[in-house]
Amino acid sequence: MRWVIFSLLLLVSMILDAGNVLNVIALGQWNIKPSVLITVLVFSTLNSSSRYGIICGFATGFAADVAGTVMGPHMLCFGIIGLILTRFQKTMTLRRFPHQMAVVFLTFLAAELPAYALSVFKTGEKTPHILPVLLLTGAYSSLAAPFVWAILRSVWPKVQTRTMGRTRLSR
């Protein structure tokens, strides 16, 4: 795995998530915009070997924390979700758009709800209306997932090395 290229990929995703670029497609008064990092998490863990998938999960969580406001919650949740996703590598073939969207939506909720609880545990700051915001963000992320997925699919061969063995994309 070429970690430098993967780090650059994460950096671009962080800038997209934390910056103003995606405000162009933000919706509603709550400024709902899609999360790119959650698609990166699902894609990278499903398309790497299980060992690298775990690292990808934690690295994506670290990136989400740095791009956010609290350090720790996303790294924990993305890491654990990444481990679970690596277990499903051989059973899940996310070639169709609806499957990709469903997995991204469920992963988003499974990761973001505990991450919010952990951030409240750390900072003590509760955010009202968090459930609708997370649901809408998850839905928007899942809608955007096929596009992000296609981009990642084209970039991913440059991230992988030939010695990594059989992964989903090489099959």
Q: Which residues bind another protein (CB under 8 A)?
A: 1-4, 11, 14-15, 18-24, 26, 29-33, 50-52, 54-55, 58, 61-62, 65-73, 75-76, 79-80, 83, 118, 122-123, 125-130, 133, 136-137, 161, 163
DSSP state of 25: G
CB 121, min distance to another protein, A? 8
Supply the minimum distance, in Å, between the C-beta of residue 40 and another protein: 17
Complex with another protein: residue 32 or 101, whichever CB lies closer:
32
CA atoms within 13 A on the CB side of 136: 13
Cα–Cα–Cα angle for 27, 31, 34, nearest 5°? 70
74 or 107, CB closer to another protein?
Answer: 74
Query: Cβ 139 to another protein, closest distance in Å?
Result: 12
Distance CA 131, CA 159 (A): 35
CA distance 51 to 45: 9
Question: Which of residues 102 and 164 has its CB atom nearest to another protein in the complex?
Answer: 164
What is the rounded distance in angstroms from the CA atom of residue 118 to the CA atom of residue 40?
22
Residue with Cβ nearer another protein (97 or 135): 135
Helix (H, G, I), strand (E, B) or coil at 32: strand
Which one, 55 or 169, has the nearer CB to another protein? 55
Name residue 32's beta-bridge partners. Answer: 27
We find the least distance from the C-beta atom of residue 73 to another protein, in angstroms, to be: 7
> Taking the complex as a whole, how short is the minimal distance between the CB of residue 171 and another protein, in angstroms?
21
SS3 27: strand
Question: Taking the alpha carbons of 88, 91, 96, 102 in that order, is the dihedral positive or negative?
Answer: negative
